[in-house]
Structure 1
Amino acid sequence: MRYALRNLRRARRRALYTFLAAFYPALILVIMFGIVAGELRGMFESATKLETGHLQIRGGEELAGGALPLFELPDELIFRLREDAAIRYWTVRLDLPALAAAGSRSYGVLVQGVEPERIAEISPIPSLISQGSYITGPGEAVVGEELARLLDIEVGDSLVLLSAHPEAGMGAGVAKVVGIFQAPQAEMGRTVVQVHLDTARKWVRRPNAATAVVVFVNGVSGPWDAWRINQAVEELQRTLPQGLVVKDFEELAPELTLYMRIARPVLAAFSGIFFVLGGLVVLNAFYLSVLERTRELGVIRALGASRRWIMRAILGEALLLSGCGAALGGLLGAGIVFLVEQLGGLRMPGAYSEFLRAFGMEPILHLRVTPWEVLGSVLAMVGVGVLAAWYPAWKAARLEPVEAMRHVT
Structure 2
Amino acid sequence: MKAAIRYLLRNQRRSILALAAVIVPVFLLVLMFGMIGGMERDMFLDTIRFETGHLQIRRASERPPGAALPLIRDPAPLIALVGATAGIEWYTVRLDIPALAASADRSVGVLVQGVDPERITRISPLYRMVEQGRYLAADDSGVVIGVQLLKTLGLAEGEGLILLGAPPDVGRGVARRRSWGVFKPVDPELGRAIVHVDLAVAQRLVRAPGAITSIVAQVGGVDGPWDAPKIDRVVAQLAERMPDGYQVMGWEELAPEFASFMRIIRPITIGFMIVFFLLGGFVVLNILYLSVLDRTRELGVIAALGASRTRVMSIVLNEALLIASVGAVFGALSGWGLVELIERLGGIPMPEQYEVMQALMGMEPLIRLRVTGAEVALSALVMIVIAVLSAWYPAFMAGRLEPVEAMRHA
- Aligned partner of 2:289 in structure 1 is 287
- Per-residue displacement from partner, 1:126-151 (whole Å, max 9, x unpaired)? 33444444344365433344444554
Aligned-partner SS, 1:90: strand
- Aligned partner of 2:17 in structure 1 is 17
Q: Higher mean Cα deviation, 104-113 or 243-252?
A: 104-113
Write the distance in 2 (CA, Å) between the matches of 1:160 and 1:367.
43
Question: In the superposition, relative to structure 1, how do residues 148 and 400 fare at CA in structure 2: closer, same or farther (>3 Å)?
Answer: closer
Identity, in percent, stands at 47
Aligned length: 406
Write the distance in 1 (CA, Å) between the matches of 2:301 and 2:174.
99
Matched, 1:33 2:5: no
- Aligned partner of 1:193 in structure 2 is 195
1:228-243 equivalence runs, <5 A? 228-243=230-245
Write the distance in 1 (CA, Å) between the matches of 2:49 and 2:319.
52
Write the distance in 1 (CA, Å) between the matches of 2:10 and 2:155.
83
- Aligned partner of 2:114 in structure 1 is 113
Q: Does the 8 A contact of 1:139 with 1:174 survive in 2?
A: no
Matched, 1:395 2:387: no
- Aligned partner of 1:346 in structure 2 is 347
- Aligned partner of 1:172 in structure 2 is 173
- Aligned partner of 1:269 in structure 2 is 271
Q: What are structure 2's unaligned runs of at least 5 residues?
A: none
Opposite residue 314 of structure 1, the aligned amino acid is V
Write the distance in 2 (CA, Å) between the matches of 1:355 and 1:289.
48
- Aligned partner of 2:82 in structure 1 is 81
- Aligned partner of 2:254 in structure 1 is 252
- Per-residue displacement from partner, 1:58-113 (whole Å, max 9, x unpaired)? 11256235222222343232223334452222111111112234445433222222
Write the distance in 2 (CA, Å) between the matches of 1:340 and 1:249.
29
- TM-score, length-normalised on structure 2? 0.88
Runs of 4+ that moved beyond 6 A = 352-357, 359-363
Write the distance in 2 (CA, Å) between the matches of 1:284 and 1:355.
41
Question: In the superposition, relative to structure 1, how do residues 6 and 174 fare at CA in structure 2: closer, same or farther (>3 Å)?
Answer: closer
Write the distance in 1 (CA, Å) between the matches of 2:217 and 2:357.
25
- Per-residue displacement from partner, 1:355-374 (whole Å, max 9, x unpaired)? 989x9987655433222212
Matched, 1:331 2:333: yes
Q: Does the 8 A contact of 1:51 with 1:122 survive in 2?
A: no
Aligned-partner SS, 2:121: coil
Opposite residue 107 of structure 1, the aligned amino acid is V
Aligned-partner SS, 1:369: coil
1:112-131 equivalence runs, <5 A? 112-131=113-132
Q: What are structure 1's unaligned runs of at least 5 residues?
A: none
Write the distance in 2 (CA, Å) between the matches of 1:291 and 1:355.
52
Q: Does the 8 A contact of 1:129 with 1:182 survive in 2?
A: yes
Q: Does the 8 A contact of 2:358 with 2:365 survive in 1?
A: yes
Matched, 1:216 2:218: yes
Opposite residue 263 of structure 1, the aligned amino acid is I
Write the distance in 2 (CA, Å) between the matches of 1:176 and 1:13.
75
Q: Does the 8 A contact of 1:143 with 1:177 survive in 2?
A: no
Write the distance in 1 (CA, Å) between the matches of 2:141 and 2:256.
35
Opposite residue 283 of structure 1, the aligned amino acid is L
Shift of 1:382: 0.7
Q: Does the 8 A contact of 1:29 with 1:271 survive in 2?
A: yes
Shift of 1:265: 2.3
Q: Does the 8 A contact of 1:129 with 1:179 survive in 2?
A: no
Question: In the superposition, relative to structure 1, how do residues 298 and 350 fare at CA in structure 2: closer, same or farther (>3 Å)?
Answer: closer
Question: In the superposition, relative to structure 1, how do residues 45 and 356 fare at CA in structure 2: closer, same or farther (>3 Å)?
Answer: farther
Opposite residue 270 of structure 2, the aligned amino acid is A
Q: Higher mean Cα deviation, 209-218 or 71-80?
A: 71-80
Question: In the superposition, relative to structure 1, how do residues 315 and 73 fare at CA in structure 2: closer, same or farther (>3 Å)?
Answer: farther
Q: Higher mean Cα deviation, 220-229 or 7-16?
A: 7-16
Question: In the superposition, relative to structure 1, how do residues 372 and 149 fare at CA in structure 2: closer, same or farther (>3 Å)?
Answer: closer
